[in-house]
């Protein structure tokens, strides 16, 4: 650990930031001195009514707040936030008018489009009318298999405006993967694109859409043009209509916003589903809005008119997080396609040309840029970029260093972590604190985050379970079709009663930050000692010979042995010398307990559609157990590389 941070807030910029303005606002209300960020966080979890009420007012939520802030406030689950409130999520996101861009869009094939705030509202109005004419109302579901493009945002907003529930995935999902998700929620409308580009190839979806639409039996299937092929695709899919035809008879007018309870369902998101049928996680309109406003406005310092980008598909919760940037009045920068076609500069080209203020990506992307030898700091004008966020997996200490040396030396780098379960973050960036190498800066305001040992005792300087000890607005309403909340309670509250256990293996740092060592269910236990997989990846993925790694525990002789699989750089062979270097690197950089018993080279590593490696699926394959939902994977064929390996039989 170093005593020198990688970044400190610049005093003048911090003083003028939304964070400090909120601290003053909350301090005046509470009569407390809250300029210190740790004091502000402590107040936010000890006086949750005061805090969340202040967030509502400071961020200018449109709606009726009501008198009660929290009902049954100590019950988890069971607490109800703003039980008397009435609001509409879409009304809060359509926060501006005019000709300035609300949405910028770039596709892999160089297509570039803009949609102004007025154009977005006009399209939402026409879609709203068309949705209603097809029988969609409050509580009905609309499912979309769409790229990250402007029409996807507009359809979601039209859905939310009438109180329907939105659910989406990306168009690269297979038929069964889509049906495993949308088949559970029985959508009244199914929306899809006419194809897309990925990695330089045009992807046809016609046959897939025909099968999905026939199985879902929606009131209508709407085909959105991206490749100028919507009419031919619509003609080949029974019951389908193009988007232009779908809205043709509805002129744009003022959008009507249905006032709804704070807890009205907004989104259904899905767990990755690699250990069974995906869980349908239902999120509320008010909880999502308030949590995202807090994260965008306070933790990211987002201002109206700034440009916000996240590299995400519509099947990852970061798309929902990105969409909420409209509530601040930011311009969303959307991208569809591979981030490495034709090379790893494509996102930085976009950032320089459109002047991103905030650029969000994944730890895997940052590592891939580093290993490709790219240095955007020397090749791109990123002067407008003030913040980078990273999620999806823990960002290694080397990833932190590379961002400051290779991308931008004065950027605020925020490693963030939360997930689909809360459609937001437990721990994330803080504009008032320094950035330390390898550390997430701290917990989110209003989030009573802690690290507990196996007996439910808070611990410091040791690894344990990441928990949240008090309710928060972005907790799910529940799971779809989950009688008596049985699956919901089992997912988060079975380990510690009335406490959210998130499933991350974590550790507090001396700087009041957090290190995530991996998922608890993927934690290794050789000799009964818990080891986080991220600790191994942080070492081995520094090596130029290793492009990527995945680590599991294999049951062996009444214990568990650590097995490391590596995907090697082109032309590299896993000989005895390289194995020795890998073991030495892990032994000296982590500990002797982290050194794998076996190191095996593989051609590919399986990952989800959002790019997360799937340790549990690999562990199941190695132990001869089936992976029940391979449709959740981007490259399910890679699982075959781990089956019945001779190297693991001795």
Residue 238 is classified by DSSP as T
Give the global pTM. 0.90
**DSSP per-residue string spanning 451-517:** EE-TTS-B-SSSEEEEEE-S--TTS-SEETT-GGGHHHHHHHTSSSTTSEEEEEEEEE-TTS-EEEE
Q: Do the Cβ atoms of 578 and 544 come closer than 8 Å? A: no
pLDDT at 2: 57
Residue 188 to residue 316: CA distance in whole angstroms? 22
Cis omega (within 30 of 0) for bond into 610: no
Decide: residue 522, CB within 10 A, 0-12 exposed, 13-18 middle, 19+ buried: buried
| Strands 101-107 and 112-116, sheet pairing | antiparallel
- Range 269-272 contact pairs with CB under 8 angstroms and sequence separation of 24 or more: 269/167, 269/317, 269/320, 269/420, 269/423, 270/167, 270/169, 270/181, 270/315, 270/420, 271/420, 271/421, 272/420, 272/608, 272/610, 272/612, 272/614, 272/632
Decide: residue 21, CB within 10 A, 0-12 exposed, 13-18 middle, 19+ buried: middle
Tally of CA atoms within 13 A in the half-sphere of 487 that contains its CB:
17
pLDDT at 271: 85
CB atoms within 10 A of CB 36: 11
In angstroms, how far apart are the furthest CA atoms of the chain?
Answer: 71
Residue 98 is classified by DSSP as S
| Stretch (H or E) spanning 32 | none
pLDDT in tens, 481-501: 998 999 999 999 999 999 999
pLDDT in tens, 39-59: 999 999 999 999 999 999 999
What are the DSSP E strand ranges found in 108-164?
112-116, 141-145
The closest alpha carbon to 107, from 15, 175, 195, 19, belongs to 195
Q: Which residues of the chain have pLDDT under 50?
A: 1
pLDDT at 524: 81
Q: Do the Cβ atoms of 353 and 347 come closer than 8 Å? A: no
Torsion from C-alpha of 555, 561, 562, 566, nearest 10 degrees: -70
Burial 85-120 (b: 16+ CB within 10 A, else e): bbbbbbbbbbbbeeeebbbbbbbbeeeeeebbbebb
Q: Do the Cβ atoms of 159 and 188 come closer than 8 Å? A: no
Q: Do the Cβ atoms of 244 and 271 come closer than 8 Å? A: no
Which residue in this structure is represented by tokens 């196996």? 454
Q: Do the Cβ atoms of 311 and 360 come closer than 8 Å? A: yes
Q: What are phi and psi of 430, to 5 degrees?
A: -140, 115
Q: Do the Cβ atoms of 144 and 220 come closer than 8 Å? A: no
Q: How are strands ordered across the β-sheet holding 307-310?
A: 112-116, 101-107, 331-336, 307-310, 358-362, 387-391, 412-415
The domains located in the chain, with CATH, are 11-88+262-517 (3.40.50.12780), 117-258 (3.40.50.980), 523-648 (3.30.300.30)
- Quote the crossing angle between the two packed helices 117-133 and 150-161, to the nearest 10°: 60
| Stretch (H or E) spanning 320 | helix 317-323
Residue 472 to residue 334: CA distance in whole angstroms? 29
pLDDT at 275: 58
* SS3 (DSSP) at 407: helix
């Amino acid at each position: 650990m170093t005593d020198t941070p990688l970044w400190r807030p610049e005093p003048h910029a911090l003083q003028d930031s939304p964070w400090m303005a909120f601290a003053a606002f909350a301090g005046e209300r509470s009569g407390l001195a809250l300029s210190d960020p740790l004091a502000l966080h402590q107040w936010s979890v000890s006086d949750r009514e005061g805090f969340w009420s202040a967030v509502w007012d400071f961020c200018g939520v449109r709606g009726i707040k009501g008198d009660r802030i929290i009902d049954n406030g100590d019950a988890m689950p069971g607490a109800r936030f703003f039980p008397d409130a009435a609001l509409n999520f879409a009304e809060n996101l359509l926060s501006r008018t005019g000709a300035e861009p609300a949405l910028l869009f770039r596709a892999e094939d160089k297509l570039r489009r803009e949609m102004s705030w007025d154009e977005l509202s006009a399209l939402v109005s026409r879609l709203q009318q068309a949705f209603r004419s097809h029988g969609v109302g409050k509580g009905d579901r609309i499912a979309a298999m769409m790229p990250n493009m402007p029409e996807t945002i507009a359809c979601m907003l039209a859905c939310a405006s009438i109180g329907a529930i939105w659910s989406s995935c990306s168009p690269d999902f297979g038929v069964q993967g889509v049906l495993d998700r949308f088949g559970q929620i029985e959508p009244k409308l199914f929306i899809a694109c006419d194809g897309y580009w990925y990695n330089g190839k045009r992807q046809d979806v016609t046959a897939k859409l025909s099968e999905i639409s026939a199985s879902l039996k929606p009131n209508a299937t709407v085909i959105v043009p991206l490749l100028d092929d919507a009419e031919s695709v619509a003609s080949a899919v029974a019951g389908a209509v193009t988007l232009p035809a779908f809205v043709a008879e509805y002129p744009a007018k003022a959008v009507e916003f249905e006032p709804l309870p704070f807890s009205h369902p907004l989104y259904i998101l899905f767990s990755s589903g690699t250990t069974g049928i995906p869980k349908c996680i239902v999120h509320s309109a008010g909880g999502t809005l308030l949590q995202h406003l807090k994260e965008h406005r306070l933790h990211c310092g987002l201002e109206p008119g700034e440009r916000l980008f996240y590299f995400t598909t519509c099947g990852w919760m970061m798309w929902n997080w990105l969409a909420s940037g409209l509530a601040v009045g930011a311009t969303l920068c959307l991208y569809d396609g591979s981030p490495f076609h034709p090379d790893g500069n494509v996102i930085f080209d976009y950032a320089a040309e459109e002047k991103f203020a905030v650029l969000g990506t994944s730890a895997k992307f940052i590592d891939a840029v580093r290993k490709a030898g790219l240095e955007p700091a020397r090749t791109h004008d990123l002067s407008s970029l003030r913040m980078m966020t990273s999620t999806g997996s823990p960002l290694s200490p080397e990833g932190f260093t590379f961002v400051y040396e290779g991308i931008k030396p004065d950027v605020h780098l925020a490693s963030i972590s939360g997930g689909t379960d809360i459609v937001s973050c437990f721990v994330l960036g803080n504009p008032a604190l320094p950035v330390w190498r390898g550390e997430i800066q701290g917990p989110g305001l209003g989030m009573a985050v802690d690290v507990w040992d196996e007996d439910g005792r808070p611990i410091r300087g040791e690894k344990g379970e990441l928990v949240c000890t008090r309710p928060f607005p972005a907790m799910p309403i529940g799971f779809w079709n989950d009688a008596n909340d049985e699956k919901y309670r089992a997912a988060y509250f079975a380990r510690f009663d009335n406490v959210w256990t998130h499933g991350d293996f974590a550790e507090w740092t001396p700087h009041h930050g957090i290190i995530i060592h991996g998922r608890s269910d993927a934690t290794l236990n050789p000799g009964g000692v818990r080891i986080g997989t991220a600790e191994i990846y942080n070492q081995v993925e520094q090596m130029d010979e290793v492009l990527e790694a995945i680590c599991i525990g294999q049951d062996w002789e009444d214990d568990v042995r650590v097995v490391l699989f590596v995907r090697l750089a082109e032309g590299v062979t896993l000989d005895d010398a390289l194995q020795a270097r890998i073991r030495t690197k892990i032994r000296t950089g982590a500990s002797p307990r982290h050194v794998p018993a076996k190191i095996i080279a593989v051609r590919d590593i399986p990952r989800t559609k959002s790019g997360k490696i799937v340790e549990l699926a690999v562990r199941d394959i190695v132990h001869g157990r089936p992976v029940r939902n391979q449709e959740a994977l981007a490259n399910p064929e890679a699982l075959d590389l781990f089956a019945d390996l001779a190297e693991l039989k001795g």
